[in-house]
Amino acid sequence: MKSFLTSALLVATGLYAQAAQWVTYEPKAGTSNGKHVVMLSGDEEYRSEEGLPQLGKILSQRHGFRCTVLFSQDPDGTINPDNQTNVPGMHLLAGADLVINQFRFRELPDEDMAKFVAYLDSGKPMMVLRTATHSFNYERNKQSPFAKYSWTAKGGGFGGMTVGETWTYHHGDHGREATRGVIDGKNRSHPLLRGVNDVFGPTDVYGVNPDFPSDATVLLHGQVLTGMKPTDPPNLKKAVMPLVWLRDYKTPTGATSKVLASTIGAASDMRSDDLRRLFVNAAYHLTGLEVPKSADVTPVGEFDPSPFGFKGYKKGVKVESHELH
């Protein structure tokens, strides 16, 4: 009876620890650069729930950023990339200096989506990785005031507004033809490309629409390879496509946001040192910090990402398992 009463009291007073709903990586003592990065994990295929935590660890432990990773999850705190409607912690975007978005076809409750849009319209920067060109898909509540951000909306929704591109098609043969990043010669001296020379990823090149924005600054082009190994030759029958680019997004409030789009960025792509370096460089550049000559992108702890693929995520993983110990 005494044990039961004690348990009841703990529940009533809220003293039982709740399951973690997001993870925050604090910089090492004395290394903080004062910038907070919030990362949005939520895609069914490309393992952002594995890649973004590693990126957060690198940015925090190697470069002094405070990083918070949000996850698509079930109510009990179990990570579930197939849950398109539950990403706790969206209110944390209000305190972010940079958002790294790797959503795919999410449909958040209006109160959470309002927090996303408030950040988007604030003039602060965003990185849009892989499937985030088509971050939202409004199928449950088509009357939502935020349905205009759906990838199917006129103009391409969120992706069309910001990076000038939404979901198009697989230009490379999906799962059979990998990607080589080719640096754009005109922009070779751009700070984001410091120390970046060799980018490879097993995910395929995405196609772009014929009306790809003329005001985009292309940093890398995606070259289709004939196989899945870095040593495989290019498929010269397929043209290169924009792979990584910068663009200004003029918000309805009159502010202008710097947005980086990268259609390479699966967790397995992030085995590439120079792709991780490009993302670290972007975090510096977009938050107004000087980009290092050659950023340290050594993984923090073990990094053995799962292959991309639907239903390929690790089952039963709790958010708290990504905490840094």
Three-class SS of 75-141: CCCEECCCCCCCCCCHHHHHHCCEEEEEECCECCCHHHHHHHHHHHCCCCCEEEEHHHHHCECCCCC
Q: State how beta strands 179-183 and 199-201 pair.
A: antiparallel
Let me know if residue 275 belongs to a domain: yes
For residue 113, give both structure tokens. Answer: 């989506």
Q: Rounded mean pLDDT of 144-168?
A: 96
Let me know if residue 80 belongs to a domain: yes
pLDDT at residue 82 tops 80: yes
pLDDT for the residue 19? 76
Q: Are 120 and 257 in contact (CB under 8 A)?
A: yes
Give the pLDDT confidence of 6-19 residue by residue, as tens digits. Answer: 334 433 434 334 67
pLDDT for the residue 18? 63
Let me know if residue 41 belongs to a domain: yes
pTM: 0.94
Q: Quickly tell me which residue has 């957060």 as its tokens.
A: 56
Let me know if residue 156 belongs to a domain: yes
Task: Count structural domains, the chain.
Answer: 1
Q: Identify the weakest region by mean pLDDT among 13-17, 131-135, 143-147.
A: 13-17
Let me know if residue 193 belongs to a domain: no
For residue 135, give both structure tokens. Answer: 């971050």
Q: Quickly tell me which residue has 């703990």 as its tokens.
A: 10
Give the pLDDT confidence of 211-241 residue by residue, as tens digits. Answer: 999 999 999 999 999 999 999 999 999 999 9
pLDDT for the residue 325? 81
Q: Which domain holds residue 43?
A: 20-169+242-291+300-322
For residue 163, give both structure tokens. Answer: 């990076």
Let me know if residue 308 belongs to a domain: yes
Q: Percent helix, strand, coil in the chain (nearest 5)?
A: 25, 20, 50
Let me know if residue 151 belongs to a domain: yes
> What is the percent of the chain with per-residue pLDDT over 70, rounded to a whole number?
94
Q: How many CB atoms lie within 10 A of CB 57?
A: 20
pLDDT for the residue 6? 39
* Average pLDDT for the chain: 94
Let me know if residue 1 belongs to a domain: no
Instruction: Give Cβ neighbours of residue 155 (< 8 Å, ≥ 6 apart).
Output: 161
